[in-house]
């Protein structure tokens, strides 16, 4: 019973991680496409909140539930497919941490532009490009971890 509960928790937190990431990307892209600082600021505030509430929670739950499942299933922590998953998890984190800061900073820049009745400034667009670029390896990393968890390949 413990195994099944942990597995459900692990799968659900993985779904939250993937789903929130995909949702955040969608909403930020749509807000950005409007070029309207008020829209970017409003949507951006929600996105930042969602990242802290949902993504950050899943980021904590994933390794805890994953390590418990590894133990219960009798796998060695150094199984090659697990080592690959750990590497992808680190890659995702290296991409995600700056993205969270970029989002927060883009909101600030959009709020200032909205208050001044100005367009989104060049600094916003630089951050958006970096946010967009870093999103791809993070997204691919999550898919890679899913593939490893399902297939448990032998290297």
pLDDT digits (tens, 9 = 90+) for 6-60: 999 999 999 999 999 999 999 999 999 999 999 999 999 999 999 999 999 999 9
Matching residue, tokens 């692990």: 10
Closest CA to 63 of 147, 135, 145: 145
Structure confidence at residue 155 as a pLDDT band (50, 70, 90): confident
Angle subtended at Cα 126 by Cα 112 and Cα 102, rounded to the nearest 5 degrees: 70
Output the CA–CA distances (angstroms, integers) from residue 31 to 15, 17, 76, in the order listed: 24, 21, 45
Range of the domain at 21: 2-151
Q: How far apart are CA 56 and CA 96, in angstroms?
A: 10
pLDDT above 70: percentage of residues in the chain: 100
Q: Supply the DSSP symbol for 121.
A: P
The total number of structural domains that make up the chain: 1
* Helices 37-50 and 80-116, axial angle in degrees (round to 10): 150
pLDDT at residue 14 in the model: 96
């Amino acid at each position: 019973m413990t195994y099944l509960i942990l597995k459900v928790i692990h799968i659900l937190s993985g779904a939250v991680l993937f789903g929130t990431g995909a949702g955040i990307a969608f909403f930020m892209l749509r807000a950005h496409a409007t070029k309207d600082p008020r829209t970017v600021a409003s949507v951006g505030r929600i996105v930042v909140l969602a990242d802290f509430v949902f993504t950050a929670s899943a980021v904590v739950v994933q390794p805890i539930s994953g390590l418990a499942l590894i133990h219960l299933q009798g796998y060695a922590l150094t199984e090659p497919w697990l080592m690959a998953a750990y590497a992808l998890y680190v890659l995702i984190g290296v991409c995600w941490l700056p993205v969270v800061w970029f989002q927060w900073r883009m909101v600030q820049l959009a709020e200032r532009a909205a208050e001044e009745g100005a367009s989104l400034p060049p600094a916003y667009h630089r951050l958006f490009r970096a946010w967009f670029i870093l999103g791809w390896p993070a997204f691919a990393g999550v898919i890679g971890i899913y593939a490893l968890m399902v297939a448990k390949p032998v290297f």
